[in-house]
Amino acid sequence: MGGITQYAVLQKDGLSPNADQIRRAFRSFNNLTDADAVRLAASAQGILLRHLQADAARAFQVALNAEGVSAALVPEDELCLLPEGKSLHRFELTPDGFITFDLLGRAKLTPWKELALIAAGAVRQVEMSRTQTERSVFRLFGVRPKAVSEAGTKLDSTSQLILELVLRSNRTRYQINAAQFPFKYTVDRPDLSPLEKFVWLVKEICRHAPGAVLNRGARDICDGTDLVRGYSNHQVFNDEMTWLLWHGAQKKT
C-alpha cells in the first residue's frame, strides 16, 4: 500500500510574492501570523512551502492565486531533481571544458555545453530550533520545520562559500567548498583572498558556459558584485536550485 502523496507549492515564474500577498493568503487559515508571512516572503526561493498534504496545498495555492501570485501545485516526487553531490578536490579550466579529477587522480573533461546550472552562495551552517511559530505551521500544513521560511531559526555558525555545478545529460552534480578547495590548480594567485578566488572562479565558469542557468548568487557575481549572496541554510540554497531545474523543465514542455 503506497504512502500518502505530499505536495509542494511553487512559484510559476520568477516573481516572488511580497509580504502583503502572503499575509492575505495566510488569513484563509488559522494559526498563521503576519510575521510568518514576512519571513516567508523574505526567504522565498521559488519553492514556497513543501511536504504538504493535498488539501492544505491546494488551499494555499488557491489563496495565492487569488492574490495574483501565479502558483503551481507539484507532487514532491517530481522535485527529486538534484542528484547526489560529488565534492571536487581538484578542478581545472580549459577552452573546451572543465577537468575534474577523482581520488585516484584520473582526469575527466566535461564540455562547457554540458553545464546546465551554476549555483553560488555564502551558505550558513544552521541549527534550527522549533519555535511556537514553526509548530503552528507544522500543525496546519504538515510541513517539515526546515521547509518553513526562516521563522524561529537560531544561527550559531559561520557561512561557507559554496559553488555547485549540475550537468545536463548524466545527472551529475559537482560541489566546491571554498574552505577546503585547492584553488592553486585553477588560479595560482597567493595574493588573492579565498573570497576573491571564489568570485574569480564563478565569473570564469559563467563566462565559459553562457547557456547555463544561474542562481541568484551566481548571477550577482556575473553582474559585477564582488560579494557573495548569503543563504540562511543549505535547504534554502538547494530549494532554489531545485526550483530553477523544475522551472527550466516546464519551459521546455
Tell me the pTM. Answer: 0.83
Number of domains forming the structure of the chain: 2
Mark whether 121 and 181 lie in a shared domain. Answer: yes
Query: Can you give the pLDDT at residue 152?
Result: 33
Gap between the Cα atoms of 216 and 206, Å rounded: 13
Mark whether 232 and 114 lie in a shared domain. Answer: yes
Query: Can you give the pLDDT at residue 252?
Result: 73
Query: Can you give the pLDDT at residue 126?
Result: 66
Mark whether 121 and 236 lie in a shared domain. Answer: yes
Residue 2 lies in a domain: no
In what helix (H) or strand (E) does residue 213 lie, and over which residues does it extend?
strand 213-214
Average pLDDT, the chain: 84
At 186-229, the pLDDT tens digits run 998 999 999 999 999 999 999 999 999 999 999 999 999 888 99
Integer CA distances (angstroms), 162 to 39, 123, 166, 180, in order: 24, 7, 13, 10
Query: Can you give the pLDDT at residue 127?
Result: 53
Residue 1 lies in a domain: no
The residues, any chain, with a CB within 8 Å of residue 138's CB and separated by 6 or more, are 130, 144, 145, 148
In what helix (H) or strand (E) does residue 127 lie, and over which residues does it extend?
strand 127-128
Gap between the Cα atoms of 176 and 3, Å rounded: 36
DSSP letters of 151-198? TTEE--S-EEEEEEEEESSS--EEEEETTT--GGGT---TTS-HHHHH
Question: What are the helix (H) ranges across the chain?
Answer: 19-26, 34-43, 54-66, 132-141, 194-208, 216-222, 234-252
Would you state the cell numbers that stand for residue 136, as one nine-digit string?
A: 503552528
Q: Of 58, 79, 100, which residue is a domain's last?
A: 79
Q: Which residues form the domain of 56?
A: 7-79
pLDDT > 80? residue 150: no
33-37, 154-158, 202-206, 246-250: segment of lowest average pLDDT: 154-158
CATH number at residue 70: 3.30.1390.10
Gap between the Cα atoms of 53 and 203, Å rounded: 41
Q: Which of 43-47, 230-234, 249-253 shows the highest mean pLDDT?
A: 230-234
pLDDT > 50? residue 141: no
Mark whether 176 and 94 lie in a shared domain. Answer: yes
Instruction: Report the share of the chain in percent with pLDDT over 90.
Output: 60
Query: Can you give the pLDDT at residue 130?
Result: 36
